[in-house]
Amino acid sequence: GAGVSQSPSNKVTEKGKDVELRCDPISGHTALYWYRQSLGQGLEFLIYFQGNSAPDKSGLPSDRFSAERTGGSVSTLTIQRTQQEDSAVYLCASSRTSGGVYNEQFFGPGTRLTVL
């Protein structure tokens, strides 16, 4: 079946512009995560959606970052007034709800964002 997809795969923008990154999770997966990965660095947690619960936004680095998940499926990460330090690969992952067992996170290929 189809995996997690993300679009665009690459995005080049000018400093100060807004960008929207899209994630299509695997059908039926209730959990959705956004991570940021700078070159050669680890996975920086941004936000976690689990079913109908309020999202865990504790990783969002500033109020320029926001995310929503419509209908429990597609998610959009929005970065307003982009800065050069926002340049990174943005990864999305989804998984089934736990239900008492670990459910593997499936990652998308990422969106490489470059802010000039």
Structure-block tokens of residue 35? 């991570």
Q: List the one residue from 38, 53, 66, 114 that touches other proteins (CB under 8 A).
A: 53
Q: Are 33 and 90 spatial neighbours (Cβ–Cβ below 8 Å)?
A: no
Residue selected from 10, 38, 41, 83 as contacting other proteins according to rule CB under 8 A? 41
Binding residues for other proteins, total number by CB under 8 A: 26
Residue 83 contacts other proteins per CB under 8 A: no
Stretch that binds other proteins, among 21-29, 67-75, 79-87, 90-98 (CB under 8 A): 90-98
Beta strands in 1-116 (DSSP E): 5-7, 10-13, 19-24, 31-37, 44-50, 65-69, 75-79, 88-95, 106-107, 111-115
Interacting stretch for other proteins, rule CB under 8 A, among 15-23, 36-44, 66-74, 76-84?
Answer: 36-44
**CB of 54 within 8 A of CB of 69?**
no
Q: Does 38 help bind other proteins (rule: CB under 8 A)? A: no
- The strand pairing partners of 76, in sequence order, are 22, 68
Nearest to 113 by CA among 16, 4, 21: 21
| Residue 73 Cβ vs other proteins, minimum distance, rounded to whole Å | 19
- Residues of the shown chain interacting with other proteins in the complex, contacts defined by CB under 8 A: 4, 31, 33, 40-43, 45, 48, 50, 53, 56, 91, 93, 97-98, 100-105, 107-110
